[in-house]
Structure 1
């Protein structure tokens, strides 16, 4: 009985496993019941001139990869194109679309070792055109570089989170990976070209990856966990309220400093008065010449005037340089030592000042003594 029960449990588990994990079987030649195709399908694509040398070197590897699926390929160096077509040996009707993607990736700069992986059933590709999304050339280059990041760090983060291969080349971004991840990469690239930094989407993907590990959150909405990177556009009333708050804070600081408060009308008065008329047009060079009379001068007169101005300027510069050179030869002013007479006069002056100071001190001392004696006499009379 125990053996039968064990067998029953194992059968149930294996059945559940088959339901949970749906395995896609490869398309084999035996699956094509209709035999060879009635019509030939073909695709062609152009490639840039700088890819010609590389494609000639690796074309044998491309031919071998396509022959395994019964697809023929041609490299036309005269017209600069690659083409693929079905043959009598082709058994998979969808493989021609995979071959078309292969030559597209090769023309966009993807290496052959990476491009041949597109022939697998679980890998798809997407070529995102970004050349016409931004008009300004400098802005386009900056935003395209933002996808790559410093030392390719942003691009590496996108590849790790989405399990995709991403190549930024010229005006396109080539992506290879699972179909669901291709949509994520396309969203990141297009948002980046709309001036939304890829780091915001990378943060969101990292949070989603962590939330997917928790089975309790499988049936719940993840919106409360995801960051909201949206610009808040304030209404007119909200803008006015914010402006009034700033004005109140400024007035509080002014009153604390002992300055008069400002009102909203004062702030409005400081602004320039709006006028619907454009400013006056600046005069042209010809107009200025007409006003000064220079326009009517002859060629030799103009040359004479210019040479006179040039000579005057040269004379001024020469005089300036001569004065600068002469400054080095000017002797500095020296303080002369005092003579015997000056020393005697200074000594006499110092003696007279000292005698005057002593005399004034003696006078003040006598005045104080008189005052004291007077006070004593008054006190004796009172007593």
Structure 2
């Protein structure tokens, strides 16, 4: 049987972009209206109520162009979208579902509406479950933002996406390729790999993509290879205890006293609840009084006059005068003594 795929196709020319997504128009829907109604509902937090109430008319007008109906329930705190008889695009209800998801995750309405366009997708990444420790989670989430939001802005420019870090999730919008890169960066950031490494890699890839000669080659030799740095030497502790000076004893150290034992020794265990509370308040007041006195002493230091050079000179002069006066009196005493000795000798 002769091959058919090698035949000339006059309609297939080089100027056709085969990857371009054509806009879906009402005349493209040959099946007509939908047989059943499809609907999606999502909840939103209380603090978004005022903003959504103001922006809802604009959202309604935008969805009406695609034949999608929407309702905002402020009592229940929910948003609902559903198909109507005017809906012609089967994917419109899925885009509307993503729209209300983004609105509930604090994405501005002007930005969230772009999800209805062709070639724009969204991805909501849940990051809270990736890190167990809350303090560590907050620090790593801050790394995504960077100083003054510079890291986040760099990621948006390199991937061509919109990124919003809010609470326990990261909402992203943009092309599929960019969303894939952003998810990899954020998941690695939660795994303690700094986003700056990925930013450097993305910048190199962006420059390599401009060179047509490298389109069919591997870029591994150009990309940086960041490895984990291991310390060549063992870490020396700050406090080194010399065990050679200690006397070896086969007996274990005495057991530390529990809280109840300490209360029994001090007699606090037998006090009533009110008495314990009174003792605790007295201790707090005593500590506060000591701190207050320390602060007052620190403040009084500013009012102590400094010692000047003139005062030192004056003191030296006074000391010298006193010494001179003492020497003068001693000389007088010596003269008197010598005179008395001479008179005594003469009389004898």
Normalising by structure 2, report the TM-score: 0.69
Separation in 2, partners of 1:203, 1:82? 40
SS of the counterpart of 2:208?
helix
How far does the alpha carbon of each residue in 1:96-138 deviate from its partner, in whole angstroms, 9 at most, with x for none?
A: 1000000001111111111111001110001111122222222
Equivalent residue, structure 1, for 2:42: 45
Cα pair distance change 1:293/1:134, threshold 3 Å: closer
Q: Distance in 2 between matches of 1:93 and 1:54?
A: 29
Q: Could you say what secondary structure the match of 1:117 adopts? A: helix
RCO greater where, 1 or 2, for CA within 8 Å and sep 6 or more? Answer: 2
Q: CA deviation at 1:284?
A: 3.2
Cα drift, residue 281 of structure 1: 2.9
**3-state SS of paired residue (2:184):** helix
Assess, with a 3 A threshold, how the Cα gap between structure 1 residues 286 and 120 changes in structure 2: closer, same or farther: closer
Counterparts in 2 of 1:286 and 1:26: CA distance versus 1, 3 Å: closer
Where in structure 1 are there 5+ consecutive unaligned residues? 1-11, 247-266, 311-330, 346-383
1:64 aligns with 2:61: yes
After superposition, residues 140-289 of structure 1 pair within 5 angstroms as: 140-231=137-228, 280-284=254-258, 286-287=260-261
Match of 2:16 among 15, 18, 27: 18
Match of 2:82 among 76, 82, 85: 85
Q: CA deviation at 1:279?
A: 5.8
Structure 2 distance, partners of 1:173, 1:214, is 33
Q: CA deviation at 1:150?
A: 1.3
Whole-Å Cα distance in 2 between the matches of residues 294 and 83 of structure 1?
Answer: 62
Of 319, 324, 328, 1:339 maps to: 328
For the residue of structure 1 that corresponds to 2:225, the secondary structure is coil
Matched ranges for 1:117-156 at <5 A: 117-156=114-153
Q: TM-score, normalised by structure 1?
A: 0.63
Query: 1:188, 1:272 → 2: CA distance?
Result: 53
What aligned pairs does 1:87-102 form with structure 2 within 5 A after superposition?
87-102=84-99
2:150 match: secondary structure: helix
User: In structure 1, how many angstroms separate the alpha carbons of the residues matched to 2:89 and 2:129?
Assistant: 36
Q: Give distance in 1, aligned partners of 2:142 and 2:152.
A: 10
Match of 1:372 in 2: none
**Structure 1 position 289, deviation (Å):** 6.7
Alignment size in residue pairs: 275
Distance 2:37 2:214 in 1: 51
Higher helix share: 1
Question: Residues 292 and 17 (structure 1 numbering): CA distance in 2 closer, same or farther, change over 3 Å?
Answer: closer
**CA distances 1:228-254 after superposition (whole Å, capped 9, x unpaired):** 1221568xxxx6xx56xx9xxxxxxxx
CA shift in 2, pair 1:17/1:278, >3 Å: farther
Structure 1 residues 35 and 283: alpha-carbon distance in aligned structure 2, compared to 1, 3 A threshold = same
Match of 2:104 in 1: 107
Supply the RMSD in Å over aligned alpha carbons: 3.8
**Equivalents in 1 of 2:123, 2:226: separation in Å?**
26
Consecutive unaligned residues in structure 2, runs of 5 or more: 1-9, 236-240, 287-314, 335-348
Q: Which residue number corresponds to residue 28 of structure 1? A: 25
The superposition leaves residues 285-307 of structure 1 with CA deviations (integer Å, 9 ceiling, x where unpaired) of 5545766899899x9xxx9xx9x
- Greater Cα radius of gyration, structure 1 or 2: 1
Distance 1:268 1:121, change over 3 A: farther
- Give 3-state SS (helix, strand or coil) of 1:339's partner: helix
Q: Give per-residue Cα distances to partners, 1:153-198, cap 9 Å, x unaligned.
A: 1111111101101111111111010011001111111111111111
- What secondary structure is seen at the aligned counterpart in 1 of 2:125? strand
